[in-house]
Amino acid sequence: MSRIASIGECMLELSAAQAQPDLRRLGFGGDTLNTAVYLARLDVPVDYVTALGDDPYSERMIEAWRGEKVGTDLVQRIAGRLPGLYMIEVDEHGERRFFYWRQQAPAREIFSNDRTADLSQSLLRYEWLYLSGISLSLYGEAGRERLFDLLRQFRAEGGKVAFDSNYRPRAWSSVEVARREIRDQLALTDIVLSSLEDETGLNGVGSADEACDLIHGLGPRTVVIKQGGQGCVVSINGRKTIVPATKVDRIVDATAAGDSFNAGFLAATLRGEDPLQAAKLGHRCAAIVIGHHGAIVPRATFLAALRA
């Protein structure tokens, strides 16, 4: 199976404890890291690409990723720095809000430091690269230009790029900047895994069909628009199919639902399955994740539910 590199940021996560909601449980998460973990659990060879500090929390993250069989050879360690942190607040419907402390996180500099050239050469050896709109928001204009140069070369040499638009307004200076940069990324993308919520906020579209048409016009052949409990629309060169979501009895926490869907979709794709079957596996993964607290469900729990 092809090896994939997932690019982005992992942060410390503070989420409410199940029995005592006023207490906070310390974990870790980040959209592309969540996807990398679930890819590894689906037996996809995956490496995570980010930067961390030299602190004990960064060390624990790396140990945990290795325990999940996520490769860490491309994780940079920056002396004297600390990873970012975020807090999750979840309402009675399982919907969540995020609060971030991340301005000095070392992950923001991986495409603008003295190791960037070596990193880019390493990434050219992969068959697939995966990143998100959150990844793009980290790097600044100069960092994004170096990333885009890498992606142009990567695709020219036969590599494939998957991208989740994952638009977070607070991560960008303006919606106009986000729209411009994400559209530049889409022109360098083979598979787009977005959501109607993100596309509405970013581009003002009113439907998944409209979102698919807009994205296809920028170049990508395969577009998936996630719609929560309404399933997703899979569009191949403009031919659209609705794939229903897996039914769940109760949503506990929607954190990482889209990230785990992406892992299922990409795992099936890398195994050679067609996009509709890939979407079904994506929905199965998301249904497991939203039934539990936090971004990353305990490994044994996830695998047992997947087998069931």
Burial label for 256, CB within 10 Å (0-12, 13-18, 19+), is buried
What's the rounded Cα separation, in Å, for the pair 26 and 104?
20
Sheet of 85-90, strand order = 24-29, 11-16, 85-90, 96-101
Would you call 114 a catalytic residue per the annotation?
Answer: no
- Cα–Cα nearest to 154, from 107, 188, 116, 187: 188
What's the rounded Cα separation, in Å, for the pair 26 and 141?
32
What's the rounded Cα separation, in Å, for the pair 134 and 151?
17
**E strand or H helix at 226, and its extent?**
strand 222-226
CA angle 124, 128, 131 (to 5 degrees): 95
What's the rounded Cα separation, in Å, for the pair 3 and 114?
26
- Cα–Cα nearest to 226, from 112, 132, 114: 132
Catalytically annotated residue among 31, 91, 259, 274? 259
Report in angstroms the alpha-carbon separations of 71 from 25, 62, 151, 199.
25, 9, 21, 31
**Bridge-partner residues for 162, per DSSP?**
130, 191
- Cα–Cα nearest to 285, from 300, 306, 271: 306
Catalytic residue annotation: 259
